[in-house]
Amino acid sequence: MRQASLEAGAAFPSESRLRDDGSLIVRIGLIDARYNRISDAAKQSGAARVENGQLVLEPGSVETGRAFIAAPVRDYTYRGANVSFVQYQPHANARDRKMNPALYFVRLFMNLLLAGTLTFFVIHTILWLIRARYDQIKKRSANGGKHA
C-alpha cells in the first residue's frame, strides 16, 4: 500500500503502524458466513408458498450460500469512536481511575472501611486482653495469690 492509494484528505499512517522494514500494517476484518435462502426456481414453480399464513417449503426449495468478505479495518468509526471489538472488557477494572472513576472511589472507600474496621477491632481486642489480664492479676493479688 502506498501513500498515493489512500483516500483524498486522509493522513499517511503514523510510524507506529509501520513494520521494521517500512511496510504498512493493515488490519483486515473477515466475515465467513453460510446462509439458506429460498431459490428463485422454488418461488416460480410454487415449491415455496404461503398457505394459511404459514410458509410451506417442499424439498429442494432451499439453497445454501456462502458469503466471504475481507476488508481493511480502520482505527476509527465514521463517528470518530475507536474500534475495539477485540479489546472489549466485559468486567470493569476497579483499579483504573481514568476509565471508571466512580467504581475506583467506591472500591477505595470499601477497602478503607474494611481496613479501618479490622484495625479498630484488632486494637480493641488487644487492649481488652491486656485489661482482662490486668484485672485477673489484680484479683489474684487481692486474694493473696501468686502475684501478691
Give 41-57 as a 3 state SS string: HHHHHCCEEEECCEEEE
What pLDDT is recorded for position 125?
Answer: 97
What pLDDT is recorded for position 6?
Answer: 44
From CA 26, how far away is CA 22, in angstroms rounded?
A: 12
What type of residue is 74? Answer: R
Which residue ranges of the chain lie beneath pLDDT 70?
A: 1-26, 74-89, 145-148
Give residue limits of the domains in the chain. Answer: 1-88, 93-148
| pTM of the shown model | 0.38
What pLDDT is recorded for position 60?
Answer: 87
What pLDDT is recorded for position 114?
Answer: 98
